[in-house]
Structure 1
Amino acid sequence: MNAHSPQAVQQSWQDAAGRVHAGPVHEAVGDFSVVDCACCGFKHVLPLPTPEQLREVYAHDYYTQEKPAYIEHYLQDKPWWDAVYAERYQRLEGWLPGTRRRLLDVGSGPGLFLLNGRERGWQVRGIEPSAQAAAHSRDSLGLDVQEGFLDENSVGGMGRYDALNLGEVLEHLPDPAGMLSLAHRLLDEDGVLCTVVPNDFNPVQQLLREQQGFKPWWVAPPHHLNYFDHASLSALVARCGFEVLHVESTFPIDLFLLMGQNYIGNDTLGRQVHGQRKQLEQALLGGGAGELKARLYKAFADCGIGREVVLFARKKCQRMRPPAETPQPQEHPST
């Protein structure tokens, strides 16, 4: 389906607040359509599930049905995740003075991002809707993680922070702008946000879809409701009161599909190609090429490719200040 052709199907839907979401349909999966929404400025599904429907999915079903091996694989990948998270903390530390080390991780999952922060001397706290993931964080890692959703009911008791992490969260929410508004309220003046979302409908995916007959495997409602790219995420964050500091990509793992390694639906092959990606990144970081890796992944973002968008932004304040320079990740020892 070519959503940019004159014959492209248009769809509209009105939410409970009376806002009309409308745009050309890019894909249709089951009862859901993905539209390029003029109201929101990014692609998302119609109709949007209610918050109550999503609470049940993420509180009990997500890690047992949608991603049953996720926690196991996550822990197997710990050395690699430690390197990934070290880079992200180094960026945060480059934009914050040494006295500001309070962080909230929203959707903290099994807890390794928080664990890395604690080991670096940060005061860390998490909030996580999955009972399994929250229990692992508390019982196995000894972390301060509250089970539940960050919303208007819980935000008042969360405190204030210098940094806030939203890793793989905004794509799951019926109102991502509302979540960014909560993040803005929780951050102190000049606080820094890190958010990571899948980079969907990217040029590599479109090539695979239109030229090689792949189905749109990345369209996965009701778990993934929103489909961002570098530009649409940057625009959304800016509209919600943040100044974008830095945008990069993660490794464009869908390049393996162009090379004939069809890992879609094949978990064994998927783990193999993920292992090759880990080997590349750990070789770069362990070999003293952290700056090269940073430049390469920024170039991926400039080309619109990469599996995820990684964006850092500062909470806007009224006083004027000079623009911050982008800190470069430090080198890591080999793991």
Structure 2
Amino acid sequence: MAHPGSVVVNIRPKPANFVRRAILYDNRTGNAVSTSAAKVGGPTQLMRHCDLCGATSFQPLPFYYLFDGQRLQGTRCTHCDLAFLDPQPTPAQLEKLYGKEYFTERPNYDRTEKDKAFIEEGQDLDLSKVQEDKFTRYMQQHYPGRKFRYLEVGCGPGYTLKSLQSLGWETHGLEISAHAADYARRELHLPVVTGNIETTEDFHENQFDLAYLGDVLEHLLSPAAAIRKFGRILSPGGLLVLALPSVTNLPSMRLGFAAYKALGRQRRMDIPPYHLYEFTPTTIRQMLAKNGFSVIDLQNPVKAPAHIRLGGNPLEQLTKLGTQYPTYWLNKLTGRFGDRMFVVARNEKQPATSRA
């Protein structure tokens, strides 16, 4: 999901035989339900309930994607303001979306540097020492010397996983791309499972005390189901760390939405629909709290103007640049209105009590 063509969309009523998505979740237990009994309405699935609050009243946002011959509409819940695509891709479509080409041929939409093949660009790294990024710096600064039982979801080919073993961490990975997961197992000899956190049964209760999702949560069919899964596989007091975008939090995005809405226009996005959800600091706090986690740190930085991606038409580019400079300095002063989030949350489940 990114910045806001020319069609006004009416949200279609949800027929009784539509399910939430091809992977179903019991709203009371949070458990995945077999898809064999699901009645599906086509290649993509309409959202039946908001993944955060359960409401059924949505309004269209002024952008959409065309994917696999289907229109995926940017949408916002009128009750809690969670933004998402409706309908959403099926699990089979997502597997195709995150195939080999995702790691070897796809353009890098989030950076201004020359595009690189992700697996190839890491093959010359020195993995005997920790690979520096926001997550590894934060953990070494705030938890020095601690040896974690660690799970990285969306670990790709496993470079960071391998490097963290130099700290004495017990590292495990989960990766939806069979190509990347196979590379991690074959070349780096890492315990990486191919699959999706929402449906995998490869991890047991209290197996880990730290899990990290770097730009992953917004790609999932049900972020809430994923967070509930972490509540089970993380130990009491275990840490869930998230890095994710919050572009709908930007003043430029809000201005763009307002302008397109006033003009009665819709913008067709020219990139694949990788982001199924967009969070703000408010909605991510609510989703974590509702599913058993308390936020102990939330940082909301913004990219410097020189580092933003200038996609769109000339007017959109001018608006982005014109608002990014004041947004950047406002963010420096207040810590608000950022386009990125780094969140650390604690699992609040209680330790099991032993019986006498």
The reply to whether TM is greater than 0.5 is yes
Calculate the aligned-residue CA RMSD, in Å: 3.8
Task: Say if 2:312 is the partner of 1:313.
Answer: no
CA distance in 2: counterparts of 1:183 and 1:91, whole angstroms: 24
Out of 176, 182, 194, which is 2:241 matched to? 194
Equivalent in the alignment of 2:43: none
Out of 116, 132, 144, which is 1:82 matched to? 132
Task: Say if 2:56 is the partner of 1:24.
Answer: no
CA distance in 2: counterparts of 1:139 and 1:218, whole angstroms: 37
Give the Å deviation of 1:211: 10
CA distance in 1: counterparts of 2:191 and 2:259, whole angstroms: 47
Task: Say if 2:303 is the partner of 1:247.
Answer: no
CA distance in 1: counterparts of 2:141 and 2:306, whole angstroms: 29
Q: Is the 8 A contact 2:206 2:234 kept in 1?
A: no
Which amino acid is 2:139 matched to?
Y
Which amino acid is 2:77 matched to?
C
Q: Is the 8 A contact 1:45 1:221 kept in 2?
A: no
Task: Say if 2:203 is the partner of 1:170.
Answer: no
Give the Å deviation of 1:87: 1.6
Q: Give secondary structure in 2 for the equivalent of 1:201.
A: helix
Q: Give secondary structure in 1 for the equivalent of 2:138.
A: helix
Which amino acid is 2:344 matched to?
F
CA distance in 2: counterparts of 1:240 and 1:92, whole angstroms: 25
CA distance in 1: counterparts of 2:247 and 2:73, whole angstroms: 15
Figure out how many residues of one structure are paired with residues of the other and give that number: 273
Change beyond 3 A, Cα 1:48–1:212: closer
CA distance in 2: counterparts of 1:26 and 1:247, whole angstroms: 26
Give the Å deviation of 1:13: 6.0
Give the Å deviation of 1:41: 4.6
- TM-score, length-scaled by structure 2: 0.64
Name structure 2 gaps, 5 residues minimum. 1-7, 21-47, 50-54, 109-115, 261-265, 313-328, 352-356
Tell me the alpha carbon deviations over residues 54-91 of structure 1, each in whole angstroms, 9 at most, x when there is no partner: 12322444224534834158539969951434323226
Give the Å deviation of 1:116: 3.4
Residues 31-180 of structure 1 aligned to structure 2 (within 5 Å): 31-38=71-78, 41-67=81-107, 69-71=116-118, 75=122, 82-90=132-140, 93=143, 98=146, 101-156=148-203, 160-180=207-227
Q: Give secondary structure in 1 for the equivalent of 2:253.
A: helix
Q: Give secondary structure in 1 for the equivalent of 2:287.
A: helix
Give the Å deviation of 1:165: 0.8
Give the Å deviation of 1:158: 8.1
CA distance in 1: counterparts of 2:243 and 2:310, whole angstroms: 23
Structure with the largest fraction of helix: 1
Tell me the alpha carbon deviations over residues 254-303 of structure 1, each in whole angstroms, 9 at most, x when there is no partner: x237xxx86449xxxxxxxxxxxxxxxxxxxxxxxxxxxxxx99857832
Q: Give secondary structure in 2 for the equivalent of 1:44.
A: strand
Q: Is the 8 A contact 1:248 1:297 kept in 2?
A: no
Q: Is the 8 A contact 1:247 1:301 kept in 2?
A: no
- TM-score, length-scaled by structure 1: 0.67
Change beyond 3 A, Cα 1:157–1:32: same
Identity of aligned residues (%): 24
Give the Å deviation of 1:173: 1.2
Q: Is the 8 A contact 2:119 2:157 kept in 1?
A: no
Out of 201, 226, 230, which is 2:277 matched to? 226
Change beyond 3 A, Cα 1:41–1:90: farther
Tell me the alpha carbon deviations over residues 10-48 of structure 1, each in whole angstroms, 9 at most, x when there is no partner: 636646145364322222223121111246651001101
Give the Å deviation of 1:162: 0.4
CA distance in 1: counterparts of 2:334 and 2:168, whole angstroms: 31
Q: Give secondary structure in 2 for the equivalent of 1:154.
A: coil
Give the Å deviation of 1:186: 0.6
Q: Give secondary structure in 1 for the equivalent of 2:296.
A: strand
Out of 189, 206, 219, which is 2:253 matched to? 206
Change beyond 3 A, Cα 1:236–1:211: closer
Change beyond 3 A, Cα 1:46–1:212: closer
Change beyond 3 A, Cα 1:238–1:10: farther
